[in-house]
Amino acid sequence: MSPTVYLISGANRGIGLAITSHLAARPDTVVYAGARNPSTATELQALARSLPKNVYVVKLASADEEDHKAAVDKIKKEVGRLDVVIANAAINDAYATIFDTTPDEVREHFNVNVVGPQVLFRETYPLLKASTATPKFVIISSLAGSVSLNPGMHVLNGTYGISKAAVNYLARMLHFENEGLVCFPMHPGLVETDMMKALVANDEALKDIPLIPTADSAAGIIKVVVESTREKDGGEFVSYDGSRLQW
């Protein structure tokens, strides 16, 4: 049986690293794990060394077209296709009202969180089309990108929320524009990572929020991704437990 070939961005820590570890433990699975600084991605490099036939580290800085072209060239030469791409890398570090956030901070959130997945899609789509299964492009988004589920808009990460609402739209567009592709945005749960710990430390309203371990988020995400179909999940806003979320 030929392996399922994955590419994931932001794989050096947090949810991305947990997804990579989870996938690496599955049979018949090869993971290309993106990190913007492979030389400092210590845990990811150790995982790749321990599973040299399952995990390959590639350099991927969000929205950097040259990095993406080089990674795709390598994957094309080595395996000739991609079956699943997971756009996971993101930032969330403007803890202020929109008034107190600079336009440069908004641009940077858009660059990493929206242009990043767009570039990843553009560069990997030719290899996804070469998939021997149903190709899947999944974007790790956030509940923060839902307008209807944030009625009070009282959380202090509006800039991040704007970018995640935009990437939800992007994912839904990709579903409708690309026949045969399974594409959807996914909320990974509220997860104990550097990103969430920093947000909680900067926002009193979140101090008692229960967080789940990265391994639980990763297991849920991969179960949903493996079982996803275009008919069931394509163009929908999906949670890591398989439920549907409102936009």
List active site positions.
Answer: 160, 164
Identify which of residues 131 and 172 has a Cβ nearer to ligand NDP in the complex: 172
CA angle 26, 28, 32 (to 5 degrees): 80
> Is the separation of the CB atoms in 10 and 63 below 8 Å?
no
Identify which of residues 101 and 134 has a Cβ nearer to ligand NDP in the complex: 101
146 binds ligand NDP (CB under 6 A): no
Among 4, 6, 8, 14, which residue interacts with ligand NDP (rule: CB under 6 A)? 14
15 binds ligand NDP (CB under 6 A): yes
Encoded one letter per residue, x for contact with ligand NDP by CB under 6 A and - for no contact, window 115-134 reads --------------------
Identify which of residues 67 and 83 has a Cβ nearer to ligand NDP in the complex: 67
Identify which of residues 37 and 148 has a Cβ nearer to ligand NDP in the complex: 37
Identify which of residues 96 and 206 has a Cβ nearer to ligand NDP in the complex: 206
Residue 54 CB, nearest distance to ligand NDP (Å)? 19
Among 4, 21, 62, 146, which residue interacts with ligand NDP (rule: CB under 6 A)? 62
Among 26, 36, 74, 81, which residue interacts with ligand NDP (rule: CB under 6 A)? 36
195 binds ligand NDP (CB under 6 A): yes
- What is the C-alpha to C-alpha distance for residues 198 and 168, in angstroms, rounded to an integer? 23
Q: Give the closest residue to 2 by CA, choosing from 98, 82, 74.
A: 82
Span 77-106, contacts to ligand NDP by CB under 6 A: 88-92
> Is the separation of the CB atoms in 74 and 82 below 8 Å?
no
Q: Cα 41 vs. chain centroid, distance in angstroms? A: 17
- What is the C-alpha to C-alpha distance for residues 164 and 14, in angstroms, rounded to an integer? 18
The DSSP code sequence of 79-99 is: TS--SEEEE--------S-ST
37 binds ligand NDP (CB under 6 A): yes
- What is the C-alpha to C-alpha distance for residues 62 and 115, in angstroms, rounded to an integer? 8
- What is the C-alpha to C-alpha distance for residues 6 and 34, in angstroms, rounded to an integer? 11
Among 7, 190, 224, 245, which residue interacts with ligand NDP (rule: CB under 6 A)? 190
Binding residue count for ligand NDP, defined by CB under 6 A: 27
61 binds ligand NDP (CB under 6 A): yes
CA angle 148, 114, 14 (to 5 degrees): 85
Residue 96 has phi, psi (to 5 degrees) of -155, 170
Residue 64 CB, nearest distance to ligand NDP (Å)? 7
72 binds ligand NDP (CB under 6 A): no
- What is the C-alpha to C-alpha distance for residues 21 and 43, in angstroms, rounded to an integer? 10
